[in-house]
Amino acid sequence: MGEVYRAVDTELKREVAIKILPAAFAFDPDRLARFQREAELLASLNHSNIAVLYGLEVADHTRAIVMELVSGTDLSDRISKGPIPLGQALPIARQIADALDTAHQAGVMHRDLKPSNIKLRADGTIKVLDFGLAKAIEGAGEAGRAGEAGRAGRPPPGKAGWAGRAGEERLRPLPPILFSAAMGDDPVVARLFRDIAH
């Protein structure tokens, strides 16, 4: 849980988004560790469909993740307005899959992928947000993090190991998102589909 503000970087004269660890959690070791991990995992990723991390600021008891300000609407808000035509929904799903694939190759599992954590810009570009529950994939090894983001090779098919298990897991949220994007926000049908997909 963070508080996200639109702000201006007065040095670089650009708008940014600032995600602040609420003061109530400033002395909570678990929340501090999670916030730190969110920043570190985001820092290890470099992809056009993932909001860019600009920095982590620490002042007194306040911590703030400074990142690219993504304009547009949350995908959840867009879905609540009605179905997205398939011709638009499919490119959205494709971009989400690309972001997940890159994160996975960098050894990062998002674990909280849902429409409210996806931003849709007016030009059709999506950005995956909120790595607050993300984790480093255990055993990702040299194909994983540690600066290999975006460059790590895929494990060979059939030799997937962590990649196979995690690969299935990482794509699991995608069908329900695509479904609700294409069908609009019908909670009964969406729930049924989620149950079937799982």
Ligand X SMILES: Nc1ncnc2c1ncn2[C@@H]1O[C@H](COP(=O)(O)OP(=O)(O)O)[C@@H](O)[C@H]1O
Catalytic residues, by residue number, are: 112
Shortest Cβ distance from residue 20 to Mg ion (Å)? 14
Q: Which does 74 bind (CB under 5 to 8 A by kind): Mg ion, ligand X, none?
A: ligand X
What is the spatial order of strands in the sheet that 62-68 belongs to? 3-9, 14-20, 62-68, 53-59
- Phi-psi category of 179—alpha, beta or left, where left has phi over 0 and alpha has psi -120 to 50? alpha
* 113/140 with CB nearer Mg ion: 113
Shortest Cβ distance from residue 122 to ligand X (Å)? 13
Binders of Mg ion among residues 110 to 129 (CB under 5 A) are 117
Residue 181: helix, strand or coil by DSSP?
A: helix
Site string for ligand X, 53-92 (x = CB under 6 A): --------------xxxx---x------------------
Query: What is the distance between the alpha carbons of residues 184 and 134, in angstroms, rounded to a whole number?
Result: 27
Q: Which of 130, 173, 178, 180 binds Mg ion (CB under 5 A)?
A: 130
What are the start-end ranges of the H helices in the chain? 29-43, 75-80, 86-105, 162-171, 174-183, 187-197
* 78/119 with CB nearer ligand X: 119
Q: Which of 84, 100, 109, 129 binds ligand X (CB under 6 A)?
A: 129
Provide the sign of the torsion angle of the four alpha carbons 171, 74, 144, 36, taken in this order.
negative
